[in-house]
A = this chain, B = another copy of it.
Amino acid sequence: MTNCWKELVEKKRNQLYNKIPAGWRLDEETINRIKNDSTNVAANIDKLCPKEENDITNTTLLELKDKIANKKVSCYEVAYAFCHRAALIHQVVNCLTEILFDEALETAKRYDLDTPDVLPPLYGIPISLKDQCNVENVDTTLGYLNRAFKPKSKQDESLIVTLLRDAGAILYVKTTVPPSMMATETVSNLFGYTYNTINTNFSTGGSSGGEGALIGARGSVLGLGTDIGGSIRIPSSYHGLVGLRPSTGTVPYLRVDNSWEGREVISSVIGPMSRDIKDLRYFMDLMANDFKPHLEDVKCSPFYFDAKNDRFTNDYVVGIQYGDGVITPTPTDLQALKLCEDTINSIPGFRAIKWSPPTELNDEMYSLAWETDLADAGKEIKSEFDATGEPLCEILEPMVLDDSRKQYTVNQWWDLSRRINDAKQRYRDYYNSFETKDRPSVIICPSTLHPFKPGNMLKATVRYILFVNLLNFPSLSLPITSFKSEIHKIKQDTCTALNHEDEIEMEYWNELINDDQMEGFPISLQIMSPTFDNNEVCKFGAFLLEKLSSHK
């Protein structure tokens, strides 16, 4: 079996490559040239495509929708442009797991020939899918070789995929993930390494890394990621995207494959990633008011979302979290937070307050999230690797404990659930410790702090990420500004580190500053709703982006 897995990997990679039309294949020299021109992936891809295609791909979902409705472009032209661009991006950064170009182009052609009078809400819009969504006739691998060559049936198809199809969306690609999705770097034996398309020196993040890279280089207007520990927000933050980790029960997870299915405590959620906040809001509005997945998926509930609602209450309070008391945010994040605070306070009727939950609670939530992820001691992950003999990926080593470590018993698990609930309750108590008029509608908080280089996953803390999953707050990754050497090239003084972990983080930041490769890299924060209001985070996110751009 030892080498057998390598043959199977080769077979899967060939299967994928063979689905790229010959005319779209790039030679190795071009690939390397683009990859080495690290911050210009999208611009280099532009040069490989005709202007008409770039006009299509360099637009938003809502604009595309208008263009299709007004017959300024055909569905076929749109599908062709995105298939082509996705194929090119993939060859440079390795972000796809399945290619459905033939089906996509055929469907688009059919849509053009037989256009209904009233267009479904996503008619002719290409939507990309993380490799957890089941699509008829193709694999869902979750990054495991063990799950390759097991194409899904019509019955297996994810509800969200069926809903997208029914709404007229064009499915054309599935995108890379690290095996099990329990890593923030996207690499697998099966598909290799996915690079960042904003700056190829850095990781694309994970686990929705393929989506991040593809959308980041305009190979998709909107894609679906999942988030059990930052997997939507991390790649979104690393590509300057808006990415929503919705609260559970909004976007349907029915028949979306996953690790640890049935693990109800700290659930994975599925949500949209996009370059444009209006597109993202349109998608969520469709979900709440058009798709109504709660009629099909027992885990979903009706929820409020109105993309057209731009009203704010008088005396709108925004919490600003400058830190968690454990890890000092980077100078760029602190500046971004200050920028948000000043912007908010400059708007009549808006007010920023300090949001500082107790350090012990922040720390405990982080520990509880880790304890949850390690509760089976990595047994499921290991069994997936063992099934084919492919070696455990290095990025997953923290997740797989040595053989002597047993899985939790059900009683230990219930006790952990109870402690998690206690922590959530104490976070609520902190919120309730504010007078009603001072309780924030949304909270702005750091997320990824800084990029990391391939192989350095563990040097980028997830302290500002995991607690949000524990709390199940909707959270929107929002690009606030970008790295400018002239103002952001500030080293951290490790003498001010709060603890050893903080010191390591600071040292890595200083290394990044020394390397001097971050110019233009997005600086993202996250907007959370402590009252589980998905609409609120998106509405405020859109508002803030607008104010920030008008202040520039």
Contact = CB atoms under 8 A, between A and B. Distances in A.
Contact of A417 (B264, B379, B420): B264
Interface residues of A, number: 37
Contact of A428 (B262, B298, B414, B424): B298
Interface stretch (A85-93, A200-208, A403-411, A504-512): A403-411
13 contacts: A260-B414, A261-B414, A262-B414, A262-B419, A263-B417, A296-B428, A297-B425, A298-B424, A375-B410, A376-B409, A407-B411, A408-B409, A408-B410
A264 B265 contact: yes
B296 A262 contact: no
A415 B265 CA distance: 13
A412 interface: yes
**Most interface-central of A254, A298, A410, A415 (chain B CB within 10 A):** A410
Nearest to A372: B410
Q: How many copies does the complex hold?
A: 2
Contact of A407 (B260, B262, B409, B432): B409
Interface in A393-437: 406-421, 424-425, 427-428, 432
- The 6 A-B pairs of least Cβ separation, nearest first, read A262-B418, A262-B417, A262-B414, A408-B410, A407-B409, A261-B418
A338 interface: no
Contacts of A406: 409
Nearest to A419: B262
B432 A296 contact: yes
A380 interface: yes
A25 to B, nearest CB: 41
A408 B413 CA distance: 10
A299 interface: yes
Interface string A245-272: 0000000001000001111110000000
A264 to B, nearest CB: 5
A299 B421 contact: yes
Nearest to A377: B410
A415 B262 CA distance: 6
A347 interface: no
B264 A264 contact: yes
Contacts of A407: 409-411
Interface string A421-459: 100110110001000000000000000000000000000
A295 interface: yes
Contacts of A295: 432
Contact of A410 (B412, B419, B427, B428): B412
A412 B432 CA distance: 38
A353 B230 CA distance: 47
Contacts of A417: 262-264
